[in-house]
Structure formats: structure tokens, C-alpha cells
Amino acid sequence: MNVGGLDDEKLSVLSQWAAGLQRDSRAEVVAAGRAIELLVDEIERLHVLLWAGPLDAVPTDPDPDDARPLARDEPEPARSLRQRLQHRLAGTPRTST
């Protein structure tokens, strides 16, 4: 069994499941289908951002000599990947497919 990432085929299967679940008469099943659909859309959007971004956006070996103390009015760097992504994507408009 291949446990690799979500390729196009797996995302397509998830989209089909989501569509099927959304046709159910039970509200909680419809909600689960919608949640899967939203997650697939988000994964596809992040794939586009990942491949469209500059390759040198994140330095691989940051120079410790470049580190400098923050100015008083400068915000503290994000402490987690989630916060950094939320900050970076905050200005990115979402498009629906």
C-alpha cells in the first residue's frame, strides 16, 4: 500500500466522495461532504501557491550573522508554521473553482 502524499488521483477520489456525501438526506453527512470538499479546495490552492512561489523565498542556510534584534515597533516573528502561513496567505485572494 502506497502511503505517499495526496496526488491528483487521490484528490479526485476525495472530491467524488464529497459530492456523493453532499447528496445524502442527513444533514451531518452533507456537512462532512462539504468539509471534505473545502479541504480538497484548500489543498489544491496551496499546491498552486507552492509551485507559483519563488524558489528562493526561504533561505536554506540562514546566516547567523544576519540575525538582528527586533526594533521596538517591529512585530515578533511567528512562532509556528501555521502562524507564518496564515500571515503569508492573509492577503492572498481565494478563487472558487
Residue 63 lies inside a defined structural domain of this protein: no
**Domains in the chain, number:** 1
64-to-56, 58, 61, 69, 70 alpha-carbon distances in Å = 18, 15, 9, 12, 15
State the pLDDT at residue 81: 64
pTM exceeds 0.85, yes or no: no
The residues, ordered by sequence, that sit 6+ positions from 95 with a Cβ below 8 Å of its Cβ are 45
Residue 31 lies inside a defined structural domain of this protein: yes
Residue 28 lies inside a defined structural domain of this protein: yes
C-alpha–C-alpha distance, residues 18 and 44, integer Å: 15
State the pLDDT at residue 90: 73
As a three-state string, the secondary structure of 30-53 is HHHHHHHHHHHHHHHHHHHHHHHC
Residue 20 lies inside a defined structural domain of this protein: yes
Task: Give CA 53 to chain center in angstroms.
Answer: 13
Residue 49 lies inside a defined structural domain of this protein: yes
Residue 80 lies inside a defined structural domain of this protein: no
Residue 59 lies inside a defined structural domain of this protein: no
State the pLDDT at residue 21: 96
Domain containing 20: what range? Answer: 7-54
For 8-63, write each residue's pLDDT tens digit: 899 999 999 999 999 999 999 999 999 999 999 999 888 888 887 765 555 555 55
Residue 77 lies inside a defined structural domain of this protein: no
Nearest in space to 17 (alpha carbons), one of 45, 37, 39, 41 = 37
State the pLDDT at residue 94: 53
